[in-house]
Structure 1
Amino acid sequence: MAEASGAEDVPSPPLWRDRNFGVFWVSQTLSVAGDSFAYIAVPLLVLHVTGSVAQMGLLTGVAGAASVCAGIFAGVLADRFDRRTLMICCDLVRLVLYGLIPLAWTFGPQVWLLYVVLPVGEAVGMVFQVTYVTAVRNLVGVDRVTEANGRLYATAAAAGLGGPLLAGVVSGQFGPAAAIAVNAVSFALSAVGLFFVRFRTAEAADVTGVTGVTEAAEAAEAAEGTGVTEPAPARQRPWRELSAGARFLWRHPVLRSLTILLSFFVFFTLGMTDVLIYHLKHDLGRSDGTVGTVLAIAAAGTIAGSLLVAPVRRRLGFGATWIGAIAVSGVAMACVGLSGRVPVIAALMAVYLGGVSVAGICSMSLRQQVTPDHLLGRVTSAFWTIHFSLGPVGAAVLTWGAGEYGVTVTCLVAGIACLLIAVTALLTPIRRSGPEHTAPATS
């Protein structure tokens, strides 16, 4: 990992004056905007050539399966290789992959190529995403990681909102293949930006934060039998390597509770966007344009929550912020089904997504703060695998409930379930104001 500039006792500059963070922030925002081009252009490309919705679904399923499989091993890669170099390599591979599509399309449609490019691209993208999460702490230090995550999340939400609109314009004027070319260029911009970014060493990143991080690292290293002076333990058997992240999550009392409760939260909320669209289209008879407007307003809640999470957490502490965000999301979700007015529904969805973003950023930031650097990739992979395991089933149940019993009943049940999750959290270590000081159990 590249050396951090400056001595460890020099106070870190504000994020808006931090050149490394600024370059990283801009380049990754452009990359997210590019991803949104492919998000729109690839389905359009398949639809233009085949006219088959089934082909679109099959391609999405294959790509999703590749992403899940890659997630199992992504953490090991992030922990064993230089993270900046790994992210640059991921960007360059995706540049080549997505650049092949418009190049091949100049000789005529090549649908078979999409079944090669998308699964490989999604797998590489998963490795990038896991490494990205682990690299943020090395970029800004643990003391500013919540603020950094909030800013990155906010601009990613804004780029994800504006990107599809631009992608539609480019696809309409020049064709979907041209929009995919824009996505390929965005990976080049991301790689160039990462090349000019310098990350702290693991030791420097830990030293800038709270003492609880050092204590957590020492406890984890003692539990693994590696000794506190060795930041990266010797390679172990493959299964031990892959399961190290899950073991750390289980040993840490706060992360263990968060992982369990957030898994249930995802079960009750992952299908909420589908339920919202069904409510607007089926129950209220609104147009596609109205659906888009409501989703755009709701996205503003994500941006607002991302910008507010750092000051709110500093003022209220972790426990009150996370539990309050989950409770607010639950109340807003329950009220969506009770309202028949589009402006009210849009406002409630903005509140709901604002709460989701606050809770999610708090959770991610805490994992970055308390996890030893040599385990952070595997902990991230393990958390995401467990966290989203119930999501697809929950989305199916939620949408089935909306069709079978109505949106009102479904939203009330899901909202009340989220409130129960918040109440349950009050009985767990999550309620602590400063859980970043909590070390994992050593046995």
Structure 2
Amino acid sequence: MKPDTRAVPGSLWRDRDFLIFWCAQTLSVAGDSFALIAVPLLVLNVTGSVAQMGLLTGVSGAASVAAGILAGALADRFDRRRLLIACDVIRLVLFATIPVVWAFGDHVWLLFCVLPLAAAVGMVFQVTYVTAVRELAGETRVTEANGMLYATAAAAGILGPSLAGVVSSNLGPTAAITINAASFGLSALGVLLTRSSRYAVEAAPAPRGRPLRELLAGAEFLVRHPVLRTLTILLSFFIFMTLGLTDIVIYRLKHDLGQADSVVGVVLGVGAAGTMIGSMLVARVRRSLGFGPSWIGAQVVSGLAILGLGLAGSVWGVAAIMALYLACVSVAGICSMSLRQQVTPAHLLGRVTSAFWTIHFSLGPVGAAALGWAAASYGATAVFVIAGASCLLLALVALATPVRQRHPERAPAT
């Protein structure tokens, strides 16, 4: 079956539903940046252990992987607008419990309960979110829409981490987590204000008596598509080496460079500027170079940037390299996601997205825990050198695969 090629008439800048959705998700990401800073600081301030930080990231990642098995089927079978709202409300409640319970004492165990549950619900949200963007923007404008969403989310992320660091320094990390909880309410409200008809997709008939086959339909599509199959494998190894890098950067700033919480927020805020720049440029880069050169080139520069993090000896050096690294991650990530949205039939997109992320993140939790252990045992510099060299090797491998094609979206339907 050919992918759905319909597009909503007119410019995205005049599309009321897309603009509301865009604003709501930007505010939500701004809130997420508070948790990105606050949760590691909460663990580090109480336990002083980077290994605990890595373990929490790993456990949360494992919960995402587990939820990914069912997330696609949920997105393809239920009302996507209601599912997005439900996920936001559940995460609001989960994150709100942290400051409430923490008011009565430090309870690190609570984070190991709340964060994995929130990560699982977040996986359902993210899978549904990808399908919603496809329907809101239309297949022909999906790269532009993804770039706009990522760019403004990154812009919010520039101010968010800086404010999160200040809030954490003056009011404590739990205050920053409270702000994150409130952001999920804003996201739910924004989705509620959009028209339900913009999310409607006619579901394909489910194969009777074969629920497992339906659940695995997304994985089957990935296996049959030569470019998506290779991307899934390569990105699974990439996430193994990079999922825990933010924790290691925070550890380097706090432990190696002796910086305050507020400085950590500023550095990650500068890094978020890189995400914004990459998101603003991705549509133009892909139009000029094509998919393969854009994706592989971004991976090469990402690997070099990670190597640079191991050599940077100043706060501003770390900040500048983080901006470069996140810009390239943004270009590669948006190219990859847009390609999946373009070549996948609309009724199958949830399950394909779910299958991709489940496979993609399967090695991530192990990698995050391993990076935390390695940083504690051998230092942050060794971790950055190994991770950077591994990313360069993945880019080299990609040159010998179908990923190098300039226009895989124009290939006949699988």
Report the TM range for the smaller structure's normalisation.
0.7 to 0.9
Per the alignment, residue 143 of structure 2 pairs with 146
Question: How far off is 1:18 after superposition?
Answer: 2.0
Give the letter aligned to residue 228 of structure 2. Answer: L
- What is the alpha-carbon distance in structure 2 between the residues aligned to residue 68 and residue 297 of structure 1? 30
2:37–2:265 Cα contact (<8 Å) kept = no
How many percent of aligned residue pairs carry the same amino acid?
65
Match of 2:308 among 335, 347, 361: 335
Q: Distance in 2 between matches of 1:305 and 1:409?
A: 27
Distance apart, 1:36 and its partner CA? 3.8
2:206 corresponds to which residue? 234
Match of 1:262 in 2: 235
State the AA in 2 paired with 1:87. L
Within a 5 Å distance, the mapping from 1:103-182 to structure 2 comes to 119-167=116-164, 182=179
**1:435 aligned to 2:411?**
no
What is the match of residue 70 of structure 2?
73
> In structure 1, what residue type is equivalent to 2:204?
A
Report the counterpart of residue 29 of structure 2 in structure 1.
32
Q: Do the aligned residues in 2 keep the contact of 1:253 with 1:440 (CA within 8 Å)?
A: no
RMSD of aligned Cα (Å): 3.7
Say whether the 8 Å CA contact 1:252–1:439 is kept in structure 2. no
Q: Which moved more, 1:386-395 or 1:22-31?
A: 386-395
Contact 1:91 1:188 in 2 (8 A): yes
State the shift of 1:248 in Å.
0.9
Distance change >3 Å, CA 314–CA 89, structure 1 → 2: same
Is this contact kept in 2: 1:157–1:299, CA < 8 A?
Answer: yes
* Structure 2: distance between partners of 1:184 and 1:407: 31
How far does residue 260 in structure 1 lie from its aligned partner after superposition? 0.9
Relative to structure 1, the CA distance from residue 405 to residue 134 in structure 2 (aligned partners, 3 Å threshold; closer, same or farther) is same
Residue 418 (1) aligns with residue 391 (2): yes
Q: 1:47 deviation in Å? A: 9.6
Equivalent residue, structure 1, for 2:329: 356
Query: CA distance change for structure 1 residues 35 and 409 in 2, over 3 Å: closer, same or farther?
Result: closer
Distance 1:238 1:249 in 2: 18
1:301 to 250, 268, 274: 274
- What is the rounded CA distance, in whole Å, between the counterparts of 2:303 and 2:106 in structure 1? 46
SS of the counterpart of 2:204? Answer: coil
TM-score (norm 1): 0.77
Report the AA paired with residue 382 of structure 1. A
Displacement after TM superposition at 1:91 (Å): 2.5
Whether the aligned pair in 2 keeps the contact of 1:251 and 1:440 (CA below 8 Å) is no
How many Å separate the matches in 2 of 1:333 and 1:59? 22
1:411 to 1:66, Cα distance in 2 relative to 1, 3 A = closer
For 1:287 and 1:175, the matched residues in 2 are separated by 16
Secondary structure, aligned partner of 2:132: helix
Matches for 1:266-415 after TM superposition, within 5 Å: 266-277=239-250, 279-280=252-253, 285-288=257-260, 290-398=263-371, 410-415=383-388
For the 8 Å contact 1:257–1:428, the answer to whether it is kept is yes
Distance, in Å, in 2 between the alignment partners of 1:13 and 1:389 is: 40
Number of equivalences: 403
After superposition, the C-alpha distances for 1:152-186 in whole angstroms (9 at most, x for unaligned) are: 12222333443344456667777776655544443
Query: For residue 224 of structure 2, what is the aligned residue in structure 1?
Result: 251
Unaligned runs of 5+ in 1: 1-7, 204-229
2:303 counterpart letter in structure 1: G
- The residue that corresponds to 2:183 in the other structure is 186
Distance 1:370 1:291, change over 3 A: same
Contact 1:269 1:414 (C-alpha < 8 Å) held by counterparts = yes
Give the partner amino acid of 2:398: A
Change (3 A) 1:46 1:79: same
Higher relative contact order (Cα pairs below 8 Å, separated by 6+ residues): 2
Residues 319-359 of structure 1, C-alpha deviations (whole Å, 9 max, x = no match) = 11111111111222233334445444432222122111110
Instruction: Decide whether aligned partners of structure 1 residues 146 and 416 sit closer, same or farther in structure 2, where only a CA change above 3 A counts.
Output: same
The residue type equivalent to 1:162 in the other structure is L
Asked if 1 retains the 8 angstrom alpha-carbon contact of 2:20 and 2:190, the reply is yes
Output one character per residue of 1:415-440: Cα deviation in whole Å (capped at 9) or x when no partner.
33322322222221111111112346
Calculate the TM-score normalised by the size of structure 2.
0.81
Structure whose CA Rg is larger: 1
CA deviation string 1:176-205 (max 9, x = no partner): 7665554444333222211222354677xx
What one-letter code is carried by the residue in structure 2 that aligns with 1:422?
A: A
**Secondary structure, in 3 states, of the residue corresponding to 1:337?**
helix
- 1:83 maps onto 2:68 in alignment: no
Q: Deviations over 1:81-126 (max 9, x none)?
A: 12112112222344455556777889x6796987776554443332
CA distance in 2, matches of 1:65, 1:320: 32
Aligned to 1:196: 193
Taking a change above 3 Å as real, the CA distance of residues 53 and 59 of structure 1, as seen in their structure-2 partners, is farther
Distance 1:345 1:165 in 2: 15
**Contact map agreement 1:318 1:435 (CA 8 A) in 2:** yes
Say which SS state the counterpart of residue 287 (structure 1) adopts. coil
- Cα distance in 2, alignment partners of residues 183 and 270 from structure 1: 21
Question: For structure 2, which runs of at least 5 residues remain unmatched after alignment?
Answer: 1-5
- 387-396 or 91-100: bigger deviation: 91-100
SS of residue paired to 2:10: coil
In the TM superposition, residue 144 of structure 1 has moved relative to its aligned partner by 1.2
